[in-house]
Amino acid sequence: MAVAIRQLTYAQAINEAMRLEMRRDPRVILMGEDVAGGATIDHLADDEAWGGVLGVTKGLVQEFGRTRVLDTPITEAGFVGAAVGAATTGLRPIAELMFVDFFGVCWDMIFDQGAKLRYMFGGKASCPLVIRTMIGAGMGAAGQHSGCHYSVFTHMPGIKTVVPSTPADAKGLLTAAIRDDDLVVVFENKMLYSMSGEVPEGEYVLPLGKADIKREGNDVTIVAISRMVHQALAAAEMLEAEGISAEIVDPRTLSPLDEETILNSVAKTHRLVIVDEDNPRCSVATDIAALAADKAFTELDAPIKLVTAPHTPVPFSPPLEQFYIPSPERIVATVLQLMG
């Protein structure tokens, strides 16, 4: 029962979700590259184990031991495949794909195996696997460590995709993902790990497939994904000074998508802007735009606008990297353009 509320970082909230679920259900295990850290290296005894490349999983191996917190070899195809197998044969594993950009290496295991087992075995098999993975630019990690790519996963039937934007959302959504009997991929924006927020204590679940309105408004609906929620909130403050009231919808889950909340918001404001850090071709942004153009056509008082990254890899050069990420200023300029 969630009772008190205190401040945790996004990373701590994710850590707590896993800790509580691993206590609750012995079938939940964690596996990935250095998720415990320092496996087979003597001077890195468990007390010193660093718990993940950014320390998100620190402390778990101390409590649950190395049979439940597993450092894997550097082979995504191998350990993600093993995780799919483990899930199908009775465990409830959490596999960490360190950077989403590596998904190409294990994509067959995810989309062609894990995502399709339940369907192709007529429901006799299931794959209650959670894949946690880091996304997002801004850390100067360059082209192979900074992408988002949830659009590719969202496209595949059989994969649920989750994009928490706050510490409280991260804990509740990850808990829901672990308890879900299907393959769920949770995309954690690395720039959010140090963000603090109020997080309820104890176990709680935020339902998958339910959006959250992060700010109410009347003049324009801004659907923003993951870290872009915060860019949009900053833009909303600037727009308020211009007398424009923006409503910010955080989908929280991309597949399944909460269409109703988005469409109701568009029916209220009659204008739609979608802010997405992912590349724009065949993306979640274009998907949501098509939804609105189809189901909210007569509610639209202006064209649907997308504020996204460009169709390029993430630059290494710091000013170019900042230009790549949708900024509050760009969001404001787009809304002002819509208002005429």
Partner 1 sequence: MATILSMPKWGLSMKTGMVVEWLKRPGDQVQEGEPIVEIESEKATNEVDAPATGMLRSIVVHDGESAAVSEPIAVIAAPGEELSDEQVEALLREDAEQRRKKAEALLKPRAAAPAEVAASQAVSRRPASSAGGRINASPAARRLAQELGVDLSTIVGTGPGGMIGREDVLQAAAQEGTAEAEEKTLAVDGVNIHYLVAGPASAPHIVFLHGLGGSLSTWSLNLPVFAEHFRICALDMVGAGASDKPSTDYSIPAQAEFLARFLDALGPDWRSVSLVGHSLGGAVALAFAQRYPERVERLALVDSAGLGPEIDSTVLDLMRSEPKPEHIRAELTLFFAHPGMVQEVLVEQILQQRWQPGAREALLATSEAAFGEGRQQNDFREMLAGWTKPLLILWGDVDAVIPVAHARAAGQGRVEVFAGCGHCPHIERAEAFNQTLLSFLSEGVPSR
Where in the sequence numbering do the catalytic residues fall? 145
Task: Check binding of 139 to partner 1 (CB under 8 A).
Answer: no
b/e burial code for range 90-118 (CB count within 10 A of at least 16 → b): ebbbbbbbbbbbbbeebbebbbebbbbbb
Q: What is the 3-state secondary structure (H, E, C) of 10-61?
A: HHHHHHHHHHHHHHHCCCEEEEECCCCCCCCCCCCCHHHCCCCCCCCCCCHH
CB of 340 to partner 1, least distance (A): 4
3-state secondary structure 60-129: HHHHHCCCCEEECCCCHHHHHHHHHHHHHCCCEEEEEEEEHHHHHHHHHHHHHHHCCHHHHCCCCCCCCC
**Does 180 sit near partner 1 (CB under 8 A)?**
no
- Using the rule CB under 8 A, is 340 a contact of partner 1? yes
- Give me the amino acid identity at 285: A
Q: Does 297 bind partner 1 (CB under 8 A)?
A: yes
Give the DSSP letter of residue 177: H
| Contact pick of 3, 298, 311, 319 for partner 1 (by CB under 8 A) | 298
- The single residue among 7, 75, 144, 218 that binds partner 1, judged by CB under 8 A, is 218
Task: Decide whether 149 or 270 has the Cβ nearer to partner 1.
Answer: 270
CB neighbours (10 Å) of residue 89? 8
Q: Return d(Cα 253, Cα 225) in angstroms, integer.
A: 9
Say which residue the tokens 């209220």 belong to.
268
Q: Which of residues 116, 126, 302, 330 is near partner 1 by CB under 8 A? A: 302
300 binds partner 1, rule: CB under 8 A: yes
337 binds partner 1 (CB under 8 A): yes
In the region spanning residues 1 to 60, those forming contacts with partner 1, defined by CB under 8 A, are none
Q: Per-residue contact track with partner 1, 108 to 127, x per CB under 8 A? A: --------------------
As measured in angstroms, the least distance from the Cβ of 267 to partner 1 is 7
What's the min distance (Å) between Cβ of 175 and partner 1?
A: 31
Cβ pair 182, 160 in contact under 8 A: yes
How far is residue 171's CA from residue 186's CA, in Å, rounded to a whole number?
Answer: 11
Q: Shortest distance, CB of residue 272 to partner 1, whole angstroms?
A: 12
Binding-site member from 94, 183, 314, 338 for partner 1 (CB under 8 A): 338
213 binds partner 1 (CB under 8 A): no
290-to-99, 191, 269, 304 alpha-carbon distances in Å: 29, 29, 17, 9
Among the candidate windows 37-45, 150-158, 190-198, 300-308, which touches partner 1 by CB under 8 A?
300-308
Q: Which residue's CB is nearer to partner 1, number 49 or number 332?
A: 332
Distance of closest approach, residue 217 Cβ to partner 1, in angstroms: 12
Stretch that binds partner 1, among 1-9, 104-112, 222-230, 294-302 (CB under 8 A): 294-302
Given the complex with partner 1, which of 135 and 272 has the nearer CB atom? 272
Under DSSP, the state recorded for 136 is -
Both tokens of 23, joined, read 């206590």
What DSSP element (H or E) covers 6?
A: strand 5-9
Q: Which is nearer to partner 1, 2 or 339 (CB)?
A: 339
Q: Is residue 301 at the binding interface for partner 1, with CB under 8 A as the rule?
A: yes
**Residues of this chain that bind partner 1 (CB under 8 A):** 218, 267, 270, 297-302, 337-338, 340
